[in-house]
Structure 1
Amino acid sequence: MGMSRKIAGFLIILGGFMIFEWVNLWFNLADGHPTGFYVVHGILVVVNVVLAVILVVIGVRGLRGAASVTGRSRDAG
């Protein structure tokens, strides 16, 4: 049993939103903070963007799986 299309779509939207938010945060960080501030936030941005990409990949695979299952059930009926 695969992932539903709704869940797969949700994961893709969530991943896209996370990428937008974290990249936006990175560009909106004000100057004048200590180096440690930028190091920590840089690590947070990288980790969260990687997680978001993983969510998008899982969602895309889920959509492909849902499409192939739907196609097979139509062929069988």
Structure 2
Amino acid sequence: MQISRKIAGFLLALAAFMIFEWINLGFNLADGHPTSFYVVHGVLIGVNIVLALVLGAIGLRAWAKSPKRPPV
């Protein structure tokens, strides 16, 4: 199965958004919360960044392999 350039572009945009959003959340966490709050959010940030990297890799491979013009 081949992924279209449109879907590949969407995956790349989604990966970039996820990385930006979760890193931004990490910097915006305020002080004064219990340690468990930071542990849970740290795990969420880590998992979502890994997911974003996987989606980005899939998107890059699909973008490179897809033809520039769709078949007629």
TM over 0.5: yes
* Gap runs ≥5 in structure 2: none
AA partner of residue 59 (structure 1): G
Partner of 2:28: 28
Number of matched pairs: 70
Q: Residue 41 of structure 1: CA displacement?
A: 0.1
TM alignment of 1:1-77, pairs within 5 A: 1-67=1-67
Matched to 1:10, the amino acid is: F
Greater gyration radius: 1
Deviation above 2 Å: which 4+ runs of structure 1?
Answer: none
- Give the whole-Å Cα distance in 1 for the aligned partners of 2:2 and 2:64: 10
Structure with greater proportional helix content: 1
* TM-score (norm. length: structure 1): 0.85
User: Alpha carbon RMSD of aligned pairs, Å?
Assistant: 1.6
